[in-house]
Structures are given as structure tokens and as C-alpha cells.
Structure 1
Amino acid sequence: MMKKLIVPICILLLSTTSFSQTRSRTAKRGTQSSKTQKVSAQPSAEAKTNGATRVADQIKNLTRFVYLLGGVAKGIEQVDEAARKNEASPAALQQNDQNKAVVKTSLRNVREGLDQLEVYFRGTPELEGYYLKLAGSASGAATAEDQAAGGHFDQAGRTLLGVVNRLTDVLLAMR
């Protein structure tokens, strides 16, 4: 029963990683020429705020996912152990296979979201300085994806914690 609830929650949370929204702010333009310099500095601050918001959204989504993955991974391991002892029912094995597929798909979505974040930072001139700290986040998620494909779901979660740490470091550098 609990597994049937966790899988849709994982799907819901991971689908939000690629559709994370950022607040859009527009600079007010004054008619005085003395404000021209302030307006030119505004886009840099706006880009930095938008970048920080995107990083924060990824951190939130990843921490929720890692939390849920812990329970799902434990359930997968228990069913796999029961299958090795020939104690698992066919329905449990089928549900376990579906859970594994959902986790793998979710990890792919996480990686794609981090790829998009890296591309955004690389393509935004005001954020290029922070890109160096961010670079490698998507490859960390790809490593987690490979670990899950090999059946090492717990290790995949640990790898994602490293990605969260990297994102947190980027956010700290942006303050």
C-alpha cells in the first residue's frame, strides 16, 4: 500500500524539476539620465537572482526526491531479497519492477533538469562565473542514473546528496 503511494509522489516531484518557475522581475525605467547607470546594473542583479532561484528550486526538488528515494530503495531491496529466496509473489515482483522503472525515469528527469540549469548558467553572461562551481552537477546525476540502472539505488541516493552539496555551494557563492 505504501509503495503505491510513494511512486506517484516521486513522479510528481520529479516532473516539477524540469518545470520549475522563476520569478521574473522588470527594471523600472526612469526618464532622468542620472538613473541610466542604475538600470544597467539592474540586469546583472536580476540575472543573479533568477539564477539563485533556479538553483534553490533544484535543491528543494532534489532533497524531496532523495528523501522519498530512501523509502523506495529500501522497499526495492526488500523485494529483491525476497525474490532471491523465492518468497516474493508475482504481483510484488511486478510492482517492484515498475518502481525500479519509475526511479530510473525520475533520475533521468533529474539529470535533464540539471543539464538545463548548467546550460542556463553557461549561456547567461552574468552567471558564467558561477558556472564553474555548478559544472559537474548533471554528471553527478548521470552517475546516480547509472548506479540505479545497475540496481544500486541506495548508492544513487548518496550520489545525489553530493549533487545537492554542490548546488548548495553555488548558492552560497551567489549571495
Structure 2
Amino acid sequence: MKIQNSKRGGEVHATHRARARFGCVQHRAGRNAGTRPEPALQYANNEINDNGTLTTSFKEVGLGTGTDSVRITLTANATAVYQCFNNGGHHPKAGNKETLQSDVITSGDFPVRNGQTTGSLIVGPLDPGGFSCPSGQTLFLESVKYSNTFVSDAAGNTLKATPDPISRELHIQV
């Protein structure tokens, strides 16, 4: 069966026209069928700054347009090495040195725009706690290391940040 196409002046087969219409309808129904994008953490990048803190920058997409903010959490295992130095700038042979290890965690609420959010979370370094130097010596933070760094959202999406582990040698007077 052939149908006259008045706009183009040509002929088209009715079955082709029906298939074309059905295909368009099917495509529109698939796009507008109420499917909501799934939240996904796209990246999480680690960096240690000059004072030994870990900054993890991230991006989460697929949050939809009905979300105003999202809670993001950063967890990591942290290590800090503190050491005493004499006033001449040398560490004594006794080697007053303390290595501290602990889990660190921080969270923040980040605004959602156009279904996505980007931001940074900061943790560390570990505090020396009760470790101190004897008279005539000064305490320095010598190095930090962060491992098992993960960024997660309230929905349970989790992404391991990179590089991991990450460490930095320092020599910062405390």
C-alpha cells in the first residue's frame, strides 16, 4: 500500500511510516519513562599540602534536579611522625621520635547544581597528643601518610581516592 506524501510530493510505504513513528514513540517513552539518574562519584583526588593536611577533591554526578545538597564523607588511615630536634637543628642520638596512627573522618554538605556537585574535604595531620620534647629541644612534624582514603555519599556510593597511599616528608615546627 502506498500513501501520497503531500509535503514532499513523493510516495512512502505505509509500513515504513508506521515503523518510523513507532520508533520515535518508543525512543521518547524510554527517555521520559520516569527514570532518574543514578548518583555516582566520578573522581576523588588526594593531595597533601605544605602543613601535612590531606585534601581530597571530588565530583559526584547523577544527583537529579530535586536535590539541593548532598553529604559527602572522607575516611582514611593517617600516620604522622613527630621528632625532637635540638636547638642546633639536629636530632639527638636518643632519637625522641613518635609515630602516631589513627583513622580520620570528616563530612560536609555540598550544594547540588545541575544534578552534580564538586568540592573538597580536608583531614589531618594527626595531633602529637601527649608527646613532647625535653628542655632545649623543639618538636617537629617530620612526615605524614594517608592510606585507604575513601569518599562516600549518604546513599552508600563509595570511591577510593587516588593516589593511595599518599605521603609527604615535612619538617614543620609544631
Tell me, yes or no, whether TM beats 0.5: no
Greater RCO, 1 or 2 (C-alpha within 8 Å, sep 6+): 1
In our comparison, the structure showing a higher alpha carbon Rg is 2
So what's the TM-score if we normalise by structure 2?
Answer: 0.28
